[in-house]
Amino acid sequence: MELDFSNQAHFIVALAPEIILSVWGIAILLIGVSRPDGPRTSSDLGWLSVLGILVAALANGWLYSVTEVGTDSMIALDRFALFSNWILLSGAALAVLISLSYVQRQGLQAAEFYALLIYSTVGLMIMAAARDLIVIFLGLEIMSIAVYVLAAINRRDPRSAEAGLKYFLLGAFSTGFFLYGIALLYGATGSTHISAIADSIASGNAHGALLVFGIALLTVGFAFKVSAVPFHMWTPDVYEGAPTPVTAYMSVAVKAGAFLAFLRVFAVAFEGAYESWWAILWWLSVLTMVVANFIATVQVSIKRMLAYSGIAHAGYLMVAIVAANETASAGLLFYLLTYTLMNIGAFAIVILVSGQGEDRLQIEEYAGFGWSQPLLGVVFTVLLLSLAGFPGTGGFMAKVFLLQGAMEANLVYLSVVLVLTTVASYWYYLRVAWYMWMRDAPPDVAGEPIQVPFAMRLALITSVVLIVYLGIFPGATLELARSSVSGLSAVGPGLIGLGP
């Protein structure tokens, strides 16, 4: 089917997944109001949300049969957007699955929780598909506001409230830069549409100074959302304070959405201005990889450790944007998918272990965990190995593809930093595994069984199976990713090899 916007119905077709999710979110809110609070309602709403996400995913699959004409529309319906939706929807679905028991346990308002989660996913999908900076901003705000509330949703817990406030204050601050960047770009090129910006740069009509300052400020906005050093300061605090499933969701879906928009804008709109931005991203990437991995090694709380690990992964991913070629971009999509699966899985284990009062969050408290819960122990070990990038797991292949892209772009030093920091990251990932298997549990907690609810089990099995699958048979997924980025007006091989 070919899109034809003279037919009003085709607008709905083009936005089917987003519309479905939005309506679903409203429905969940309404159902939540009409039913008494209680664990039963909570769990029903959770499963309903999963269903909604699956319906949206079906719609997304169906959209593969729809072709758009031209690249003038403000929201794209290309392979890249569809692949992005896979990543975001799987992140959202897994996040809901690992939230089910948590929301019940902590007595959170289920309807609001799931509705906000779905709204923020809609925002992310719009961001990833947007071809206009204003629309990206719109998606960014839809997502951000929902996530600010989600971070603070456990009102009875001061840590959660603090996290929400911090995230909001700093988020608002950085949004200012982002918006200012859009304004400057409009001033430089006379448009906010990325193709128009690209044309303007290519034809040499863009105003030089305004353009580079605009790009720089946009970089700051994205760097904040993907938590690149030095714009990462909020991350550990917010990740630690927010309810753990929200942290999980933020660490994967929000980051993924930001990266997807990041890639589209820089690869399409700023293709012609590569000279002026690659060095900024090069340094941000190096700084992020090095600093995050360093700090992660001294963390004692597992949530903070995973927060810094998330920052480190943002550093690796930025390598792909610097490389700016097809291999690296496909690698970025593959990486985001893998990262979504493995990070959600790791947070799921953290939720399971932390228990009712959220008090078991120290890495030391994992001592002997592997032997008392062998199955969970093995699952967690696989997830940690994948995060570290161990051969045989999806995390390894993802890094391999990134490196391949970086080497094609001749980014030798960046590749070396990536490899070295990856090696350093083994220390803090494997330290958890070491506690799990090599240390005896303290006598008072030994043998205390952990019940794994069905939804959690589903999420864990899905993520581990897919991670191993992606690690051993990455071919098909990579092919899909490759065909998804080839539609972008993706940039030729990166221009320059070494840092300034």
SS3 letters across 115-161: HHHHHHHHHHHHHHHECEHHHHHHHHHHHHHHHHHHHCCCCCCHHHH
Interface with other proteins, residue 250, by CB under 8 A: no
Minimum separation from the CB atom of position 219 to other proteins (A): 7
Interface with other proteins, residue 173, by CB under 8 A: yes
Q: Which two tokens stand for residue 345?
A: 């899985």
Cis peptide before 36 (omega within 30 of 0): no
Interface with other proteins, residue 217, by CB under 8 A: yes
List binders of other proteins among 337-376 (CB under 8 A).
374
From candidates 26, 279, 412, 445, binder to other proteins by CB under 8 A: 279
Residues in the chain: 500
Interface with other proteins, residue 426, by CB under 8 A: no
Cβ contact 31:45 at 8 Å: yes
Between 41 and 410, whose beta carbon lies closer to other proteins? Answer: 410
Minimum separation from the CB atom of position 329 to other proteins (A): 20
Interface with other proteins, residue 222, by CB under 8 A: no
Minimum separation from the CB atom of position 297 to other proteins (A): 5
From candidates 118, 220, 382, 384, binder to other proteins by CB under 8 A: 220
From candidates 136, 212, 319, 466, binder to other proteins by CB under 8 A: 212
Binding mask 472-491 for other proteins (x = CB under 8 A): -x-x----------------
Interface with other proteins, residue 142, by CB under 8 A: no
Minimum separation from the CB atom of position 423 to other proteins (A): 11
Minimum separation from the CB atom of position 466 to other proteins (A): 18
List binders of other proteins among 430-459 (CB under 8 A).
none
- Total residues contacting other proteins by CB under 8 A comes to 38
Burial class (CB in 10 A: 0-12, 13-18, 19+), 404: middle
Q: How far is the C-alpha of 31 from the C-alpha of 45, rounded, in Å?
A: 8
From candidates 73, 121, 174, 247, binder to other proteins by CB under 8 A: 174
Expressed in angstroms, the distance from the first to the final Cα of the chain is: 48
CA 302 to chain centre: 19
Contacts of range 50-54, beta carbons closer than 8 Å, 24 or more positions apart: 50/93, 50/96, 50/97, 52/20, 52/21, 52/24, 52/25, 52/27, 52/28, 52/118, 53/21, 53/89, 53/92, 53/93, 53/96, 53/118, 53/121, 54/93
Minimum separation from the CB atom of position 45 to other proteins (A): 33
Interface with other proteins, residue 177, by CB under 8 A: yes
Q: How far is the C-alpha of 476 from the C-alpha of 127, rounded, in Å?
A: 26
Nearest-5° Cα angle at 492, 124 to 76: 30
Minimum separation from the CB atom of position 284 to other proteins (A): 8
Interface with other proteins, residue 24, by CB under 8 A: no
Which residue's entry shows tokens 């429905």?
27
CA separation, residue 330 to residues 84, 263, 273, 496 (Å): 11, 11, 21, 20
Minimum separation from the CB atom of position 201 to other proteins (A): 15
Between 138 and 407, whose beta carbon lies closer to other proteins? Answer: 407
Q: Is 301 helix (H, G, I), strand (E, B) or coil?
A: strand
Phi, psi of 2 (to 5 degrees): -110, 135
Sign of CA dihedral 428, 429, 430, 434: positive
**111 residue type, one letter:** A
Q: Which two tokens stand for residue 122?
A: 């809609």
Of 91-99, 102-110, 164-172, 357-365, the segment contacting other proteins by CB under 8 A is 164-172
Q: Which two tokens stand for residue 45?
A: 């709403």
Between 80 and 167, whose beta carbon lies closer to other proteins? Answer: 167
Between 47 and 180, whose beta carbon lies closer to other proteins? Answer: 180
Interface with other proteins, residue 233, by CB under 8 A: yes
Between 174 and 386, whose beta carbon lies closer to other proteins? Answer: 174
Minimum separation from the CB atom of position 327 to other proteins (A): 13
Interface with other proteins, residue 239, by CB under 8 A: no
Interface with other proteins, residue 295, by CB under 8 A: yes
Interface with other proteins, residue 166, by CB under 8 A: yes
Cβ contact 376:384 at 8 Å: no
Q: Which residues pair with 312 in a beta bridge?
A: none
Between 46 and 236, whose beta carbon lies closer to other proteins? Answer: 236
Cβ contact 167:147 at 8 Å: yes
Interface with other proteins, residue 219, by CB under 8 A: yes
Q: Which residues pair with 75 in a beta bridge?
A: 130
Nearest-5° Cα angle at 391, 388 to 394: 70
Of 46-54, 113-121, 272-280, 387-395, the segment contacting other proteins by CB under 8 A is 272-280
Of 29-37, 225-233, 263-271, 361-369, the segment contacting other proteins by CB under 8 A is 225-233
Interface with other proteins, residue 243, by CB under 8 A: no
From candidates 12, 298, 412, 419, binder to other proteins by CB under 8 A: 298
Q: Residues interacting with other proteins, by CB under 8 A?
A: 165-166, 169-170, 173-174, 177, 212-213, 215-217, 219-220, 223-224, 230-231, 233-234, 236-237, 276-277, 279-280, 283, 291, 294-298, 374, 424, 427, 473, 475
